[in-house]
Structure 1
C-alpha cells in the first residue's frame, strides 16, 4: 500500500542531520531543474520572433510550443522507468547530453519541422531529468527535510525560468535574434555536465532496490562519505522490490492513487503551461514589444518561485493536501482575472504573477505526495508516470488554447476554459485516500 509518512525508502539517512554532501546533491539537482526551466521556456521567449520570421499563425505556433512538452511526457514515463532499472546517476547524465544537443540544434533551425523535432528531443531529456532528480532528492534527504527539499527541487524550475528570462530579454534586446536564446541554453547545459559527473553519486536507495553485484561496496562507500555507520550486509529486499515495470504501478494498492494523481497533475499542468507558453504572445498582441512580454513571463515565474518556497516551508508545519487544494481553487479565480481585459504592463505583470503563484503551488505541492507514495524500486517510475502522462496536459494546453484563439474566442473565455483544470485537479485530490 502507499506510504502514509515521510519515509522514502531504506531509512538509512532518515534520522541523521543532513550532511554537507547530501546538501550538495540536493543543490545540484535544483540547479539541473533550473536548466529545465530555462530550456522549456526558451521556446516561449523565442515564440514572437519565430512567428514573425516564419509567418506562422497561432494554431501552428501552439503546436510548435507543445513539441517539447510531448517529449517531456514521453521522457518522464520511459526514462523515469529506466532510472529505476539502471540507476539515477547514469540516467541524469544521459538526459543532460540530450538536452544540450537539443538546445544547440534548435538554434540551427530554419523551418517548423526541424525546430519541432529538436524541441521534441529536448523535451525527452527534460522529462527524464525531472523524474530522476525528484527521486534522487527524496532519497538523499532525511525525513525532516524531505518534503521541503522535494519542493525546492521543483522550485529550481522557476528559478531557471526567472534568471534565464532576464538573460533572454537582454539577448532579444541586444541582437533581436530568437536563436540566441537556444544557443545560450545549450552552452549553459553543457557547462553543468562536468559538475554532475564529478559531484552526483548514485542513490543508496536505488542501489538497494536494484542490487547490482557491487551494491554493498558502493552503498558503504557513500555511507562513509556521509559519516554514517557501514552495513555488514545488504538488508533484506522489500516485498515486490524486483518488480520495476510500469504495470506494477497498478498493483499492490497503488492503482487508485496513481490514477487520481495523474488526472490531478494532468489538469493542473495544463493550466500552468497555458500561462507559461501563451503569455508572451498574448502580451505582444496587446501591442507591447517582445522584451516587455518576456518580463511579464519573468513576473509569472517570480510568483511561481515564491509559491514553491512558501508551500515547501508550510509543509513543515501544516497538512499539505488542504494547502494544495486551496491553491488550485484560487488558481481558477486568478486566471479569470488575467482574462478580464487588463492591458497595462504593471497590472498584467502583477496579475500574471498572482495567477502563477496559485497555479504553481498546486503543481509543486503534489511532488512530495508523489515522492512518499511510491517505494524506492518504483519511485522514479511512479513519479515519471504521473508527471509523464500528466504532462499530456502540458502538451494539450497550448494546443487547445491556440485552437480556441484561432476559432475566435477571446482571452476571457479561453482563460476560464483553461482555468477549469484547477477545479478538476482539486476534486481529484479530495478523492485521494486519507493515507498518502
Structure 2
C-alpha cells in the first residue's frame, strides 16, 4: 500500500488514480452479477412456451406470470436500493443474492400459476435491490477516466446473461429437461456468487465517506488498501445530506428533483418497450410454428444484439457524452420494434429482427445508467438509482400485462398493431432524456475537490 494521499478525499483518490487490478476484478464481478440478473429476469421468458403448453394458459394470464419478477424488482429497487445507502453496498448485495437463490429454487418446483407468480415476485425483489447496489459499486469503484467504459461494460452484462442463459436453455436445459430446469440452473449459479462477493468485493470508500460510520477513517483506509490506493490522513467535510439518504430528501432537493423525476419516468416509458421484446419474443415466435428451443434462440440473438449495442454505445458516450446518443438509440429502437412487428417467415429473419431491437434499446439503457451515475451524488446514489429503477419497473412490469391484454383483445394475428403501440414507450423515453438537466452531482454536493460540472447538452 502507498503512503498517505496528498489530500483528504477518498472519492478523489479513486477518481484521479489509474484503475488497478482489484478495481477491475470488482467491476468484472459487478458485470457477472448484472448478467445473473439478466438471466434471472429472462428465465421466465425462456420457460414461457413450456409453461403455456403444460398449464394451457392464455397470453393475458401468461403476461401476469411474466410481469411478476418485474413487479418484485420495482419494490426491491425502492426498498433494498435504500438499504445499500444505509447499511452498505456489500451487505445489500449478499442479502439480495440469498433472496434470488431461494426464489429461483422455489420457482422450479411450482405446481401452478399462483405459486409460480409468488416465487417470481420474491426473485424480483432481490434483483431490484441488486441492480441498485451493483450500479453504485461500479460507479464508485472506477476512476473518472474509466467510468464510462466500466458503466457500459456493466450494463451489457445484463444481455450477456441473457445470451449465456439462452444458449444453456436452447442447447441443453429445454432439450434434455424442461422449463423447470431453467429456474433450477439460475438458483445454482446465484448461490455460487455469494462466496465470490464475500471474498473479493470490499465496501466502497465513497459509501464510508458519505455515511460516516464509527471509525470511518479506518474503514475508508482499509477499503483504499484493498484497492492498493494511498491512505488519507483525515476526512473531508461531510455534506449536510450525508445522514439522510431518503427518497423524500432527494425529491425535496430543488437540484435533484427534476433529474430524479425525468430519469424515472423516462426509464419507465423506455422499459415498456424494452420488456415487450424480452418477455414476449419467445412466445410470439413459438406461436408461428417453431419449436421451443428454436423460439428461445430468438431471445438469445436479441441479447447478443443488446450486448454489442451496449458495448459500442459506451464508445459514443466518451465522445458525445450522454444525451444525444441516448435519444438516437431510443428512436432507432422504435423503428426496430416496428419492423419486428411486421412478422417474418423464417427463423433467421426473426433472429435478426430481435437482434436489432435490443441493439438499439439496450444501447439506450446504457445511456440511462450513465445518467444515474452522473446525476446522483455518492451519499444518495443507491437510493436515487433505486427510486428511478423502482419507478421504471412500473413500465417493465406493465409491459407484459399490457401486451398480453392487447393480444387477447386484438387477436394474436395483430402483431404489428400491438408492436406499434408498445414502441411508443421508447419514443416518450427519448423526450424525457431530452428534457432532463444533467450535471456532475458529486461535484455539486461538495464530495469532490473539483468545480461543479456543467449541464450536459
TM-score normalised per structure 1: 0.96
Specify which of 252, 265, 281 is matched with residue 267 of structure 2. Answer: 265
Partner of 2:92: 91
Partner of 1:118: 119
Partner of 2:197: 196
Contact between 1:171 and 1:180, CA under 8 Å: does it hold in 2?
A: no
Specify which of 388, 398, 405 is matched with residue 407 of structure 2. Answer: 405
Q: CA deviation at 1:133?
A: 0.3
2:194 aligned counterpart, secondary structure: helix
Name the CA distance, whole Å, in 1 between partners of 2:354 and 2:378: 37
Name the CA distance, whole Å, in 2 between partners of 1:387 and 1:334: 24
Question: Deviation per CA, 1:19-57, whole angstroms, max 9, x where unpaired?
Answer: 111111101111111111111111000010001111111
Partner of 1:312: 314
Name the CA distance, whole Å, in 1 between partners of 2:174 and 2:203: 42
Contact between 2:94 and 2:198, CA under 8 Å: does it hold in 1?
A: yes
2:318 aligned counterpart, secondary structure: coil
Partner of 1:19: 20
Aligned length: 429
Contact between 2:10 and 2:220, CA under 8 Å: does it hold in 1?
A: no
Name the CA distance, whole Å, in 2 between partners of 1:173 and 1:14: 45
TM-score normalised per structure 2: 0.92
Partner of 1:414: 418
Contact between 1:171 and 1:181, CA under 8 Å: does it hold in 2?
A: no
Q: Tell me, which stretches of 5 or more residues in structure 2 are unaligned?
A: 1-8, 439-454
1:170 lines up with 2:174 in the alignment: no
Q: CA deviation at 1:254?
A: 1.0
Contact between 1:9 and 1:139, CA under 8 Å: does it hold in 2?
A: no
Contact between 1:9 and 1:376, CA under 8 Å: does it hold in 2?
A: no
Partner of 1:214: 215
Partner of 1:361: 363
2:203 aligned counterpart, secondary structure: coil
Q: CA deviation at 1:352?
A: 1.0
Q: CA deviation at 1:242?
A: 1.7
Q: CA deviation at 1:12?
A: 2.2
Partner of 1:50: 51
Partner of 1:247: 248
Q: CA deviation at 1:148?
A: 1.7
Question: Deviation per CA, 1:322-360, whole angstroms, max 9, x where unpaired?
Answer: 001011111111111111121211011111101111111
Name the CA distance, whole Å, in 2 between partners of 1:402 and 1:50: 15
Give the 3 Å change call, closer, same or farther, for CA 63–239 of structure 1 in structure 2: same
Partner of 1:4: none
Name the CA distance, whole Å, in 1 between partners of 2:320 and 2:410: 44
Alignment of 1:3-18 (within 5 A): 10-18=11-19
Higher mean C-alpha deviation, range 204-213 or range 163-172: 163-172
Name the CA distance, whole Å, in 1 between partners of 2:352 and 2:140: 37
Q: CA deviation at 1:9?
A: 8.6
Question: Deviation per CA, 1:142-164, whole angstroms, max 9, x where unpaired?
Answer: 00111221121111111111011
Partner of 2:289: 287
Alignment of 1:92-111 (within 5 A): 92-111=93-112
Partner of 1:342: 344
Give the 3 Å change call, closer, same or farther, for CA 9–74 of structure 1 in structure 2: farther
1:370 lines up with 2:399 in the alignment: no
2:240 aligned counterpart, secondary structure: coil
Q: CA deviation at 1:230?
A: 1.3
Q: CA deviation at 1:82?
A: 0.8
Name the CA distance, whole Å, in 2 between partners of 1:338 and 1:9: 48
Name the CA distance, whole Å, in 1 between partners of 2:142 and 2:173: 39
Partner of 1:432: 436
Q: CA deviation at 1:314?
A: 1.9
Name the CA distance, whole Å, in 2 between partners of 1:173 and 1:123: 23
Name the CA distance, whole Å, in 2 between partners of 1:97 and 1:226: 26
